[in-house]
Structure 1
Amino acid sequence: MADGSGAAVAAPQRDARPESAPSDGEAAAEEQTLSKRQRKKLLKHQKWEEERELRKQRRKERKQQRRLERQSQAEQGAEPCSARKRLRREATPSPLRLVVDCSFDQLMTLKDVRKLHKQIQRCYAENRRALHPVQFYLTSLGGQLKQNMDENDKGWVNWKDITIKSEHYHEVLAKNELVYLTSDSPNVLTELDQGKAYVIGGLVDHNHHKGLTFERAKELGIDHAQLPLSSFVKMNSRKVLAVNHVFEIILAYLEKGSWQEAFFTVLPQRKGAVAVDQDGKAVQEKEDGDSDSDSDATTPDQKKEGEDPNSAQTQNSKEKSDA
């Protein structure tokens, strides 16, 4: 009996240690199974949790500081206003209308639709802070583009100073006021007509549908034109520009009054844009030609001095001629 009762008492004692509590050896083994990146991530999370209260306190302090600043401004009779709001009040809206035609949804992959979405976001943001914001229209919105906007940019429904329509642009605006901007048009735009609505094709197709926007404009019987890019700029790539680039160039032209300044303000460096003179020759090439002739005139002296052909000066001259 004694042995049996002793065994009965001893049994719970062996099971008293919780099964879930790992021993030091198990904890060490678990630590070793974590990769260096996982351990770093774990430590970062632990630190973030430990500093939660500190962040909360800092937010309270910042909020209190802003409240005190507003009270101080009110006592001094100053109107509280952010720099961006001051800029918006100084802006002079333009009657010019810019329309992004989103009727090419079925011709694009989802990846390209996402790119178009980002370009439209850029147009909206630039127009909001422009010195002369235009009347912005987004037409034929639907399909993949609208779905992507709903999923990734729910705030678009609250956009201000923009007209968004599911209808086609020729159903929203008078046809005699429309001008389709397309690089395939033989008409070159020299000035902007404030009474017109300029349409930009919302198509990201990597040149798979050449001349499509031009054909659409002709089918509808509306005016068409291309920006005067070739008259001011020489590029090492095709003249087809992204939606936001065309949009931003027009905003820059409205501000600066110069096509050349507008182009060089907006065009990305990868386009390799250089200015051209009245003869259509690249200004950089002309300057390089002058520098080459100067270099030839001094070559005999350089040779007398035993100049190293691999020197920095010689390499710089070579780079200029290659450009």
Structure 2
Amino acid sequence: MASINEEIVQDTVVTVSNLASSVDVESVTEDLDHKLSENGRVDVDLDSPESADNNKTLSKNQQRKLRREEMKLVYRQKRRIKNREARKLQNKMKYEKVVLENTSSESLNDKTDEKEEEEVKIVSRKELVNQQKMEINMKLRKAKNSAPKVCIDLSFDSCMNDRERSQLSDHIQRIYGSNKKSTRPFHVILCNFSHHNPIYDTCIKKHHGFLNYIIDFYEKGVLDVYSNEEIIYLTPDSENVLESLENDRVYILGGLVDLSVKKNQTMEFASAHKIRTACLPILKYMQMDKRTDNKHSFKRILSINQVFDILLKFYETNCWEMALEYGMPKRHGYYLPENDKDIVPNLD
């Protein structure tokens, strides 16, 4: 067995020496190194004219061995390039790890500080919102003892359909929103607000937390809660003009959305119960706009939230001109005279 291995080794040595004598291995290696240096790629053209000339002087067995040796050289060069790149990457990772370890403590402290600042901002923002809510609620509760009373009479539910009731609930919600934003809110009251009234279910379903509004809810009617001497029923059909607001009076707004425009409903109710009435001083301070060809309605019938906004602005400024200009819809066709444009509110 040992003799066979020795013979194989001798044959291999003879073959390699023959190959070395016939082929310049150093030139092949230099050529491979040159090709490997270009973009890390290895391109061996075994079918080139030079290799073809060499192959003519070699047997097939020698050609196969030569190809094998050339492929070994290529493999070695590839492995060297691969190892070189791996070492570079490893060194780079080590360097980045050292830098990261040095800066990790500082960055961790910075992130902790930023997180704490964000938490403080969130807490402070929540505290600010809660404080604003508390101030608004306190302002509305204080108005119950010192401000004029504005009561919405919900006894006209039988005169409205579902669509009109839905709009009425929206008007009540807007009234509460305006009262919250005001610097001098009213004491708002709802009468005839009972489970038997369809408007009750409409308000509860449409507006979340409606029963939590800082409003006085009464199931009884207006005349069951207040006396006739306290009440002033606001209606556009009245001949009495409202001049001022008094703290000991209750100003009634008829809770009615009448899309079919049935006149005198609130006036008839007030007259039947001998309640004092009044209307907003629209014609006293404003004029009909007939200067253009625009078709205006010239109506003095307003929704309850529009009447409320006018009353609220007058209560804040004590100026009917500013209140009417603020709350009167432009489409109705009323405007202030030219000499009243620069009116200064009387806050006394």
Normalised by the length of structure 2, the TM-score is 0.55
The residue number in structure 2 matching 1:243 is 304
The residue number in structure 1 matching 2:186 is 134
Please report the RMSD computed on the Cα atoms of aligned residues, expressed in angstroms.
3.0
Note the C-alpha offset of 1:68. 1.4
- Tell me which amino acid in the other structure corresponds to 1:149: C
Runs of 4+ aligned structure 1 residues displaced above 4 Å come to: 63-66, 70-73, 83-87, 89-92
The residue number in structure 1 matching 2:256 is 203
The residue number in structure 2 matching 1:19 is none
For 1:203 and 1:263, the matched residues in 2 are separated by: 21
Note the C-alpha offset of 1:146. 1.0
Structure-to-structure mapping, 1:137-156, within 5 angstroms: 137-142=189-194, 143-156=197-210
Give me the identity figure in percent: 27
For 2:118 and 2:218, the matched residues in 1 are separated by: 40
Q: Does residue 106 in structure 1 map to residue 158 in structure 2?
A: yes
Label 1:234 to 1:219 Cα distance change in 2 as closer, same or farther (>3 A). Answer: same
- Where 1:175 maps in the other structure, the secondary structure is coil
Structure-to-structure mapping, 1:261-276, within 5 angstroms: 261-276=322-337
Q: Does residue 81 in structure 1 map to residue 128 in structure 2?
A: yes
Note the C-alpha offset of 1:174. 2.1
Label 1:115 to 1:71 Cα distance change in 2 as closer, same or farther (>3 A). Answer: closer
- Tell me which amino acid in the other structure corresponds to 2:280: L
Structure 1 spans left out of the alignment, 5+ residues: 1-62, 74-78, 284-323
For 2:216 and 2:124, the matched residues in 1 are separated by: 39
Cα deviation, 1:233-292, whole Å, max 9, x if unaligned, reads: 2353210010001111111001111011001112233223311379xxx99xxxxxxxxx
State whether residues 232 and 277 of structure 1, in contact with CA within 8 Å, keep that contact through their aligned partners in structure 2: no
- Tell me which amino acid in the other structure corresponds to 1:204: V
Normalised by the length of structure 1, the TM-score is 0.59
Note the C-alpha offset of 1:141. 1.8
For 2:123 and 2:263, the matched residues in 1 are separated by: 60
Label 1:90 to 1:99 Cα distance change in 2 as closer, same or farther (>3 A). Answer: closer
- Where 1:221 maps in the other structure, the secondary structure is coil
Q: Does residue 229 in structure 1 map to residue 290 in structure 2?
A: no
For 1:64 and 1:240, the matched residues in 2 are separated by: 57
For 1:229 and 1:269, the matched residues in 2 are separated by: 13
Choose 202-211 or 269-278, whichever is displaced more: 269-278
Label 1:71 to 1:136 Cα distance change in 2 as closer, same or farther (>3 A). Answer: closer
Label 1:86 to 1:257 Cα distance change in 2 as closer, same or farther (>3 A). Answer: farther
